[in-house]
Amino acid sequence: MDWRHRPRCDETPAWAALQQHFTQQFSGTAAFDLRQAFAQDADRAARFSFDAAEVHSDLSKNLIDDEAQRLLTQLARECGVESLRDAMLAGERINTSEQRAVTHVHWRSESKDATAPDRQAPAAPENIVNLRREITATQSAMLAYADAVRADSAFTDVVNLGVGGSDLGPRLVVQALRASGVANGPRVHFVANMDGHELAELLPQLRVDSTLFIVASKSFGTAETMQNAASARAWFAAQGGTDVARHFVAVSSNTAAAEAFGAGRCFAFDEGVGGRYSLWSPIGLPIAIAIGSAAFRDLLAGARAMDAHFAQTPLARNLPVQLALLDLWCRHFHGFGSRCVVPYHHGLRRLPAYLQQLEMESNGKRVDTRGRALSLHTAPVTWGEVGSNGQHAFFQMLHQGTQPVPVEFVLVRNPAHALPGHHTKLLANALAQARALMMGQAGDAPERHFPGNRPSTVLLLPDLSPHSLGALLSLYEHRTIVLGALWGINPFDQWGVELGKRHAGEIEAALHSGDVTALDVSTAGLLKQLR
């Protein structure tokens, strides 16, 4: 099937079959019960468990049966998921609204000549071969620079100035690998918020002669980032700093603007790398400085292993595909409007925030790639908190609230610390919550009754290493892309982000001038209160 002529999910024969199956087996008096499903099928857990790269997953505690899974897998075929996947790996322009290839996977590919990470695809087109050569050169230069910064004892602190994809992915990875003891380089800080309180709180902790600032903006025009960069440069000058080129480095496709700013180095990347998919590119410079080039290459290798699984594995056992299909099943057939992600590891505490951008910015769309309005809801709300903190915050609602919410538990088998007792209790709490959501409990009073039959998924890593973390994040990327393919939308653009930026510019001008004639009455009234 040509990826450009794929039907969306609600236009396929499998969709109609799924609707019929759901009505017969999951609604009314025939409502599916997990407890009965496990009692009647001793092999259910094994059949609904998957292994991909270093990620083990258990999907068995979800409200799904074998026939639904079979029909969903058929749906993926009918939607042309395989053809779109192959087109992406081959460097075709699947980002149709911006007429771009999607190239972030090539930044973690080992071979500059292979089309796909598994090296099993036909020879790459010339544009991809050339791109791979450019990637190799840029990546080598970036990692050499990162190691040089690590070796320079004068640098004690690195500050990454970025927002969105230039912040969330790198921040997550650095925090995760710091918790695992891998991030042993200079202290790496992240400033994203335009609110000056964030930068103002950090600057007094820094010394002008020992701080490196990374200005990370693809366009080198992102309002939040450039405001923070201007303030950081002003602080640098006020503190007696003179060598801007040594203390400011840029990650941007706009090399001319970076040079005009005074950055001593600029690491560029191609237009096919979207912000929320960009941590593998030079946007990952703060990661490389924190963990070193060897560990960064291991991060890429973990992602590449998941890429190979995604490229090679049949749909029925393909973990990114099956997770996306489960998301679709939960969203449209069960009507679940959100998904809760609870990582039971301190290092993964920013994972929910990272996924919020990855999933909701990618798939929060209301028209398909042909410009047709969607009759289906897309992008469920992604939210969560690190476990076990979440147990003492919102798990009451998960257990006894009126609207079931699918919960995704992310666990790490082996801790990096040696404190006795902690990790065993942590893992026990995670598994107990998943079991309690499923089993429920009959109470002697209404307020003590737990209905149970509430869905959950478990993703398990062996440890929180660069390799396993790379595999996990690549898994989430592919899952998001597949879900977009099922809906027939473009998960690589973000036009909704631009609208707010335009309005902000108009209102900022009005705040300076006091002229509110072009504004609505409400905004004008609030602006007067702020002046």
Specify the pLDDT at position 123. Answer: 58
Specify the pLDDT at position 111. Answer: 53
Res 56 pLDDT > 90:
yes
Specify the pLDDT at position 124. Answer: 65
Total of domains in the chain: 3
Rounded CA gap, 398 and 407, in Å? 8
Res 408 pLDDT > 80:
yes
Looking at the structure, tell me whether residues 336 and 480 fall in a common domain. Answer: yes
Specify the pLDDT at position 186. Answer: 97
Res 224 pLDDT > 50:
yes
State CA 102 to chain mean position distance.
16
Res 284 pLDDT > 50:
yes
The owner of tokens 């209790």 is: 425
Looking at the structure, tell me whether residues 255 and 326 fall in a common domain. Answer: no
Rounded CA gap, 52 and 470, in Å? 12
- Residues 208-234 have a mean pLDDT of 96
Element (H, E) at 85: helix 81-89
120 is a domain residue: no
Specify the pLDDT at position 113. Answer: 43
Specify the pLDDT at position 293. Answer: 97
N- to C-terminal Cα distance for the chain? Answer: 59
301 is a domain residue: no
| Beta bridge pairs of residue 248 | 213
Looking at the structure, tell me whether residues 350 and 472 fall in a common domain. Answer: yes
User: Distances from the Cα of 86 to the Cαs of 11, 115, 502, 523, in angstroms?
Assistant: 22, 9, 36, 48
Looking at the structure, tell me whether residues 370 and 406 fall in a common domain. Answer: yes
Specify the pLDDT at position 283. Answer: 97
160 is a domain residue: yes
166 is a domain residue: yes
Specify the pLDDT at position 443. Answer: 83
Structure tokens at 222: 């992102």
Could you tell me the sign of the dihedral formed by the alpha carbons of 482, 487, 488, 493, in that order?
negative
CATH code of the domain covering residue 165: 3.40.50.10490
Looking at the structure, tell me whether residues 508 and 478 fall in a common domain. Answer: no
Looking at the structure, tell me whether residues 151 and 278 fall in a common domain. Answer: yes
Name the 3-class secondary structure at 128.
Answer: helix
Looking at the structure, tell me whether residues 62 and 172 fall in a common domain. Answer: no
Domain hosting residue 234, numbered range: 135-295
Least confident of 108-112, 422-426, 487-491: 108-112
Res 151 pLDDT > 90:
yes
Specify the pLDDT at position 410. Answer: 98
Looking at the structure, tell me whether residues 341 and 462 fall in a common domain. Answer: yes
Looking at the structure, tell me whether residues 336 and 414 fall in a common domain. Answer: yes
36 is a domain residue: yes
pLDDT digits (tens, 9 = 90+) for 17-37: 999 999 999 987 678 999 999
180 is a domain residue: yes
Res 485 pLDDT > 70:
yes
Asked whether the beta carbons of 53 and 305 are under 8 A apart, the reply is yes
Rounded CA gap, 81 and 84, in Å? 5
pLDDT digits (tens, 9 = 90+) for 310-355: 999 999 999 999 999 999 999 999 999 999 999 999 999 999 999 9
Res 210 pLDDT > 60:
yes
121 is a domain residue: no
Res 118 pLDDT > 70:
no
| Single residue among 295, 330, 364 that ends a domain in this structure | 295
**What is the set of active-site residues?**
361, 392, 501
Name the 3-class secondary structure at 163.
Answer: coil
SS3 percent helix, strand, coil of the chain, rounded to 5, is 55, 10, 35
